[in-house]
Amino acid sequence: MTDKVRTRFAPSPTGEPHIGNAHSALFGWLFARHNHGVFILRIEDTDVERKVEGSVEKILEGLRYLGMDWDEGPEVGGNYGPYFQSDRLDLYHKYARELVESGHAYHCYCTEERLEAMRAEQTSRKLPPGYDRRCRNLTPEQGETEERKGIKPVVRFKVPLYGQTRFHDEIWGNISFENNTIDDLILLKTDGFPTYHLANVVDDHFMEVTHVLRAEEWLSSTPRHILIYNALGWTPPLFAHLPMLIGPDRSKLGKRHGATSVLEYREQGYLPEAMVNFLALLGWSLDDKTEIMTREELIRYFTLERVSKTAAVFNHEKLKWMNGVYIRKLTPEDFAQRCLPFLKKAFPDIALPNDYVRRVLPLVQERAKILFEVPGLTRYFFTDKLDYDANLLIGKGMTAETTRQALLVAKERLEKLPAFDEQSLEALLRPLTEELGIKAGQLFGALRTAVSGETATPPLFQMMAVLGRERCLERIGDAIQRLSSLPGK
RNA sequence: GCCCCCAUCGUCUAGAGGCCUAGGACAGCAGCCUUUCAAGCUGCCGACAGGGAUUCGAAUUCCCUUGGGGGCACCA
C-alpha cells in the first residue's frame, strides 16, 4: 500500500459528458493535485445496453477542455490497469465466486418479470421495494434444478439481516444504516458483467484508491460497498460525498435546465479557466470574499473541510459574468487566438486577414461574455452588405433630412481628412457637431448606424479607424441614399 | 411508502456561542461616467424556514415540526 493520495473519476460512457460529472471530477482532481497525489480515470463501461459509441472520446475531450489531466487511465496507461472495466471481467468473476464460496453471496434465479411484479406489488401496498430473498437459502439441489431449466443466475450479495453499517464520510460525518433496510443487491448480472457496486469496490481496491470523491447520489449505496469490502476482507477507502448540482427548480440538473454537456459550454465559448473557477465555487469556497482564482490557487487552497453539504443550483447568469471577467483578463493576442475558431465557423467564406482581425477584436473584448457572440458583435467588420432599417439613422430630435445633411457634410470632410485614425477622426467630428448645430449623439449616432448598421457598437472613432476610410465613405454614401428614398420624406 | 441526509438574501456563499443592527458575489433597481453598447464606480433592495430547549448571550448546540434533496433496477 501507498500513503500517497489516489483519487479517481469513474464515468460511464453513456452519452455526453455531463456538467455534474465534470463538477465531481474537478473536486477529485483538485483534491489529488492539492495533495500531490494521483488522479485516475477509469471507464465504467459495464452497462452494455446504455453504452454509447464515441462517448469515451467525448469524456476525454471534456476533461482536456477543462484542463484536468489524469495520471492513469485511457491513453496514458498506468500500473493498475486496465482502466476499462470491460477489460477486467475476470477479476470481477473471481471475487464474485469468492463471495459465493465464503457464503457472502448466492446465485439467484428469479426472473426479471418476477422481480418487476414483486416490486409493483410492494409499491402498490406502499411497502419499500426490495428483493424478497427467495433464492437466498436455496439448497444446491434446488439450484441445480433451476440450472437444468436453462436459467442463468445472477450473483446476489447476502446483506446481513440484522445490525447496522456505519461509516465516516469526510464531508457528511458519521452515517449509519440499518442493515435490514438494505436488500440483497446484484453483484454479477446474467450477461456476465458486474454491477456498479461490485466493479467499483474491486477496482477501487486494486487501484489502491485512497479517497472516493463522488456525488451525493451515491451516499446511500455506500453501506453496500462497505459491506462488500468487509466480506472480502478489504479495508475501504475514505469516502467524501460531494454536493450535487441542481437546476433552478432544485431538482437534479438535466436537459430541461439548459446545456448539460461540458462540450456545449466549450462550443458556446466558455473559457476553461472560467468554467473551472465557477464549478469550484459550487459547493466549495475559500473564504467570505475571494471568487476569482487561478487554477493554481484553486489547487493550493482546495480542501475537503471547506466543501459544503448542500446541493448547489447551477446559475448560468453568474457563469456568464465570470466568463466575461476571464475574457477581459486575456491579452489581446490570446483573445484573438481563442476567437478565431468562432469567426472561421461563422464566416466560412470570408477572408480573415491576421492584422485586420487583431485590430477588430480588441474593440469587442470587454463587450463579449461568451466567445460565441463575438462574430455577431463584429459582423459588420467582415461583411460588406449591411442590413438595417434606415429609420435607425435618425436620432432623437432629427429628421431624415437633417440627418442626411449631416451625413453629407461629414462624408465630404472625411474624404479630405489626411489621416484616418482615431485622433484625427475625433478632431474632425467633434467640432463638426457644433458647426452643424446638433448634439454629439445626433451626429455620432447617425454615423454609427451608417457605418455599422448597429445602434450599439464600440466607440465610434475607434470603430471607423479600423473599418478604414474606404468602407466608411461607402457606407455613409449608402446611408444617404437610404435616407433619400425613405417613404414620406 | 421506507431509508439516509440537508436547511443563511431569488442564486452561489461567509459565518464553527458574544467580532452579526449577518459579510461578499451574481442577478435586479437607482445614479455617476459617457457619442451608443459594454466595462468601471457609488448606492439601494434582499436571508438566518417555524417552534421549543440549553446559555448571561444562539445563525451557530439539542429536540420537534415544516420544507427540500438523494436512494430504494440484471443503470451507473
- Write the DSSP assignment of A417-450 as a string of letters: -S--SHHHHHHHHHHHHHHHT--HHHHHHHHHHH
> A472 — phi, psi (to 5°)?
-65, -50
- CATH assignment of the domain containing A423: 1.10.10.350
| Residue A254 belongs to a domain | no
Pairing outcome for strands A38-41 and A6-9: parallel
Is A440 (CB) below 7 Å from strand B? yes
Is A312 (CB) below 7 Å from strand B? yes
What value does the mean pLDDT take over residues A181-187?
Answer: 95
The predicted-structure confidence for A247-294, as pLDDT tens digits, reads as follows 998 888 888 888 889 999 999 999 999 999 999 999 999 999 999 999
Same domain (yes/no): A92, A162: yes
Taking each helix axis from N to C end, the angle separating A19-34 and A55-65, rounded to the nearest 10 degrees, works out to 50
The predicted-structure confidence for A381-394, as pLDDT tens digits, reads as follows 999 889 999 999 99
Nearest nucleotide, C1' to the C-alpha of A223?
B4
Instruction: Give, in Å, how far the C1' of B73 lies from the CA of A193.
Output: 15
| Residue A69 belongs to a domain | no
Is A303 (CB) below 7 Å from strand B? no
Same domain (yes/no): A102, A237: yes
Nearest nucleotide, C1' to the C-alpha of A173?
B5
Predicted confidence at residue A2, as pLDDT, reads 54
Residue-range definition of the domain harbouring residue A408: 390-484
Predicted confidence at residue A178, as pLDDT, reads 93
- Is 0.80 topped by the overall pTM? yes
| Residue A259 belongs to a domain | no
Residue numbers 26-65 of A with CB closer than 7 A to any atom of strand B:
44, 46-47, 49-50
Same domain (yes/no): A213, A173: yes
Is A367 (CB) below 7 Å from strand B? yes
* Residue A43 contacts residue A84 (beta carbons within 8 Å): yes
What value does the mean pLDDT take over residues A415-421?
Answer: 93
Same domain (yes/no): A121, A233: yes
The strand pairing partners of A166, in sequence order, are A176
User: Which strand (E) or helix (H) includes residue A223?
Assistant: helix A222-232
Instruction: Give, in Å, how far the C1' of B51 lies from the CA of A248.
Output: 29
* Final residue belonging to a domain, choices A315, A348, A382: A382
| Residue A361 belongs to a domain | yes
Nearest nucleotide, C1' to the C-alpha of A221?
B71
Residue numbers 199-238 of A with CB closer than 7 A to any atom of strand B:
216-221
Same domain (yes/no): A212, A151: yes
Same domain (yes/no): A376, A472: no
Nearest nucleotide, C1' to the C-alpha of A307?
B13
Is A460 (CB) below 7 Å from strand B? yes
Percent of chain A with pLDDT over 70: 99
* Final residue belonging to a domain, choices A343, A363, A382: A382
Same domain (yes/no): A397, A350: no
Same domain (yes/no): A373, A398: no
* Final residue belonging to a domain, choices A362, A382, A402: A382
Instruction: Give, in Å, how far the C1' of B27 lies from the CA of A406.
Output: 41
**pLDDT class for A203, splitting at 50, 70, 90?**
very high
Task: With a threshold of 0.90, tell me whether the complex ipTM lies above it.
Answer: yes
Residue numbers 409-428 of A with CB closer than 7 A to any atom of strand B:
426
Q: Compute the mean pLDDT over every residue in chain A, rounded to the nearest whole number.
A: 94
Instruction: Give, in Å, how far the C1' of B38 lies from the CA of A28.
Output: 37
- How far is residue A440's CA from residue A294's CA, in Å, rounded to a whole number? 43
Is A309 (CB) below 7 Å from strand B? yes
Predicted confidence at residue A488, as pLDDT, reads 53
Residue numbers 62-101 of A with CB closer than 7 A to any atom of strand B:
none
Q: In this structure, which amino acid lies at residue A476?
A: I
Q: A255 an active-site residue?
A: yes
Grid cell digits, residue A353: 486577414
- How far is residue A483's CA from residue A376's CA, in Å, rounded to a whole number? 25
Predicted confidence at residue A354, as pLDDT, reads 93
Predicted confidence at residue A1, as pLDDT, reads 46
Is residue A196 predicted with pLDDT exceeding 70? Answer: yes
Instruction: Give, in Å, how far the C1' of B23 lies from the CA of A347.
Output: 47
Is A250 (CB) below 7 Å from strand B? yes
Three-state DSSP class for residue A217: helix
Same domain (yes/no): A435, A354: no
Same domain (yes/no): A344, A421: no
| Residue A177 belongs to a domain | yes
- How far is residue A223's CA from residue A183's CA, in Å, rounded to a whole number? 11
- How far is residue A267's CA from residue A271's CA, in Å, rounded to a whole number? 10
Is residue A473 predicted with pLDDT exceeding 90? Answer: yes
Looking at the structure of chain A, the number of domains it has is 3
| Residue A319 belongs to a domain | no
> A341 — phi, psi (to 5°)?
-60, -35
Percent of chain A with pLDDT over 90: 90
Is A191 (CB) below 7 Å from strand B? yes
The predicted-structure confidence for A33-60, as pLDDT tens digits, reads as follows 999 999 999 999 999 999 999 999 999 9
* Neighbour count for residue A457 (Cβ, 10 Å): 21
Q: Which range has the worst mean pLDDT, A140-154, A196-210, A316-330, A404-418? A: A140-154
**pLDDT class for A489, splitting at 50, 70, 90?**
very low
Give DSSP secondary structure letters for A399-422: -HHHHHHHHHHHHHHHHH-S--SH
| Residue A27 belongs to a domain | no
Predicted confidence at residue A253, as pLDDT, reads 87
Q: Which nucleotides of B are covered by protein (CB under 7 A)?
A: 1-8, 10-15, 23-27, 35-40, 68-76
- CATH assignment of the domain containing A177: 3.40.50.620
Same domain (yes/no): A93, A193: yes
* Residue A29 contacts residue A64 (beta carbons within 8 Å): no
In chain A, the N- to C-terminal Cα span, in Å, equals 87
Same domain (yes/no): A143, A166: yes
Q: State the catalytic residue, choosing from A255, A309, A344, A345.
A: A255
| Residue A465 belongs to a domain | yes
